[in-house]
């Protein structure tokens, strides 16, 4: 175990404004029910075993059982397009 630790805090000008930031509503925020419906369908029927929803950046990352060591990333409108779920075969 180290007896001495070092904390690097970064630029004071940036740190000073950090807590004054406000989060802007994202595309996923405004379509949260639809996003959740899609994720549930992917989990229940399409073989997704690990979903990650990044609400603030409107990114969805998922791991499918058909290729568990690789992930797939979908961004913004791509996930909300009509027919998105039809891209993936039903899981066996």
Distance CA 79, CA 85 (A): 9
Is the pLDDT assigned to residue 18 strictly greater than 80?
A: no
pLDDT classification of 87: cutoffs 50, 70, 90: very high
Which pLDDT tens digit goes with each residue over 25-58? 999 999 999 999 999 999 999 999 999 999 999 9
Backbone conformation region of residue 91, classed left if phi is above 0, alpha if psi is from -120 to 50, else beta: beta
Task: Please state the pTM of the whole predicted model.
Answer: 0.77
- Whole-number average pLDDT of the chain: 90
């Amino acid at each position: 175990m180290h007896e001495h630790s070092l904390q690097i805090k970064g630029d004071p000008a940036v740190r000073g404004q950090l807590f004054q930031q406000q989060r802007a509503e994202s595309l996923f925020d405004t379509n949260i029910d639809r996003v959740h419906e899609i994720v549930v369908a992917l989990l229940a029927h399409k073989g997704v075993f690990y979903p990650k929803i990044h609400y603030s950046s409107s990114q969805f990352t998922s791991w499918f059982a058909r290729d568990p060591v690789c992930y797939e990333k979908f961004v913004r409108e791509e996930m909300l397009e009509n027919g998105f779920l039809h891209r993936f075969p039903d899981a066996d």
